[in-house]
Amino acid sequence: MGIIKKILAILILVLAIVLIAAYCMPKNYAVEREIIINRPVDTVFNYVRNLKNQNEFSVWANLDPKIKTTYTGTDGAVGSKSTWESDVKEVGVGEQEITKITQGKRIDFALRFKKPMEDTAVGFISTETAAGNQTKVKWGINGVIPYPMNIMLPMMKMDHMIGNDLQKGLENLKNKLEE
């Protein structure tokens, strides 16, 4: 009986340490990548503001050739949505909604994931004039991992996991617009 009490005490102590560590750890993540595109800023901005065009260069939209995508609202305007459904785990089910547009500079959007797990995030794509007739495009996504799941944040390596896909998407965008 004494051994069972000791094992139980150790388990409770370990659980308490994990919960205290999670309480002290960050819950927010933010990932950004950027690229220079050899096209004028207005051309790039007018292309990326449309959700249908974003699905042309997004890594996630291209993981499943059988993805079902629907669009509502006026594409490229605040309130327009892209909803997707896929059996591919990395794509899942969710929607993206344009929440704010700063003309010629930035598009903000909400991401709502429904499967394989429910989650929300916010993102943006910004454009700014670079040297000559070039445009610097920045793509970012940020969100919150709730307590106590945030204990996993350092192991999830969000910057690497999401960042690689953002970078590849920006490279796809560059190739598309520089054709």
pLDDT above 70: residue 154: no
Average pLDDT value over all residues in the chain? 87
> With bands split at pLDDT 50, 70 and 90, how would you rate the model's confidence at 118?
confident
The region of weakest confidence among 3-7, 117-121, 131-135, 152-156 is 152-156
Q: Which pairing describes strands 81-85 and 93-102: parallel, antiparallel, or unpaired?
A: antiparallel
Mean pLDDT throughout 101-116? 93
The region of weakest confidence among 38-52, 95-109, 111-125, 146-160 is 146-160
pLDDT above 90: residue 136: yes
Residue 61: per-residue pLDDT: 83
Of the chain, the percentage scoring pLDDT greater than 90 comes to 50
Distance separating alpha carbons of residues 141 and 83, to the nearest angstrom: 18
